[in-house]
Amino acid sequence: MTSEVITSEPRLVRSVQETQSEMTELILPNDTNVLGNLLGGRLMHFIDLVGAMAAYRHSRSNVVTASMDHIDFISPVHVGDLLILKSSTNRAFRTSMEVGVKVWVENAVKGTVRHVASAYLTFVALDRVGRRIVVPELKPATSEEMRRFQDAGRRREIREQEQKRRRSNQSE
């Protein structure tokens, strides 16, 4: 990536609802391991895709994944299950956005739905030549959106502290 695009225009504001994305996948044998469980890497791929959709909707620009800083694999997903992934932007910073993704599995035969994974990803908005661009602000509208907005700020502080720690360890 090259240098950041500087703009003097006022930042647009988007709602969380405008960024929400959903994706459904039928889990087939080629998505699974020898036990018939969805491969973790395949799940991460789906999470990255639906997360990018929310970031794209928020920034209305090209986006790249900067990090997937937390993922919980809660329970296995099996061949024949319907995987339901939902994402929304939790917070917009200057050129980056944190997106939360929740994953459920539906067993259509049994009529059951269960939560199987959650993740937080950071995306950076880029122009056509790969320069960072300023993204719209995010305006939380509900108490749940405000909680996620505040939590995203705390997670960013932790990420920045960790980056400083790693840099100081490399210079020793």
Locate tokens 């391991």: which residue?
Answer: 33
pTM of the model: 0.89
- Digit-coded pLDDT (tens) for 47-64: 999 999 999 999 999 999
> Is the CB of residue 3 less than 8 Å from the CB of residue 131?
yes
Specify the higher pLDDT residue, 54 or 108.
54
Mean pLDDT confidence for 107-132: 95
Q: How confident is the model at residue 9 (pLDDT cuts 50, 70, 90)?
A: low
Q: How confident is the model at residue 155 (pLDDT cuts 50, 70, 90)?
A: very high
Does 4 have pLDDT greater than 50? yes
Residue 1's pLDDT is 46
The domains of the chain, with CATH numbers, are 13-170 (3.10.129.10)
Task: Tell me which of 45 and 70 has the higher pLDDT.
Answer: 45
Look at 7-11, 21-25, 120-124 and tell me which has the smallest mean pLDDT: 7-11
b/e map 63-94, b = 16+ CB within 10 Å = bebbebeebeeeeebeeebebbbbbbbbbbbe
